[in-house]
Amino acid sequence: MSGRPTLDELFEHRLTLPDVVARERLARLIGLDEHKARLSKILALLVHPAGLAAWAKKHHGGAEGLLDFVLRRPPLVVLAGDVGTGKTELAETIGDAVAREVGIEITLFPMSLSTRGQGRVGEMTRLLSTAFEYVVEEAAKLKASSGKARGAVILLIDEADALAQSREAAQMHHEDRAGVNALIRGIDRIANSCLPAVVVMCTNRLLALDPAVRRRAADILTFERPNETQRHTLLQSSLGALGFSARQIHALVEITGARAGRSYGFTFSDLTQRLLPAIVLDAYPNSPIEPSRALEIAKTMSPTPPFQEGV
Q: Please check whether residue 125 is in contact with residue 170, taking contact to mean a CB–CB distance below 8 angstroms.
A: no
Residues of the chain with pLDDT > 70: what percent? 94
Neighbouring residues of 63: CB distance < 8 A, sequence distance ≥ 6: 56
Q: What topology does CATH give the domain 7-223?
A: Rossmann fold (3.40.50)
pLDDT in tens, 271-300: 999 999 999 999 999 999 999 999 999 999
Number of Cβ within a 10 Å radius of residue 236:
17
Please say if the pLDDT value at position 305 is more than 60: yes
- Reference 204, options 218, 188, 225, 175; nearest CA is 225
pLDDT tens for 40-89 read 999 998 777 878 888 888 999 888 888 888 888 889 999 999 999 999 99
pTM of the predicted structure, to 2 decimals: 0.90
- CATH 3.40.50.300 in the chain is located at 7-223
Contact 210, 164 (CB under 8 A): yes
- Measured from the Cβ of residue 189, the count of other Cβ atoms closer than 10 Å reads 17
What secondary structure, in 3-state letters, does 113-162 show?
HHHHCCCCCCHHHHHHHHHHHHHHHHHHHHCCCCCCCCEEEEEEECCHHH
Q: pLDDT per residue over 187-196, tens digit each?
A: 999 999 989 9
pLDDT range class, residue 146, cuts 50, 70, 90: low
Partners of residue 155 on adjacent β-strands: 109, 199
At 311, the pLDDT band (50, 70, 90 cuts) reads very low
pLDDT digits (tens, 9 = 90+) for 218-253: 999 999 999 999 999 999 999 999 999 999 999 999
Contacts for 101 with CB less than 8 Å, ≥ 6 apart:
40, 44
Q: List, in sequence order, every residue forming a beta bridge with 111; answer none if it has no partner.
A: 11
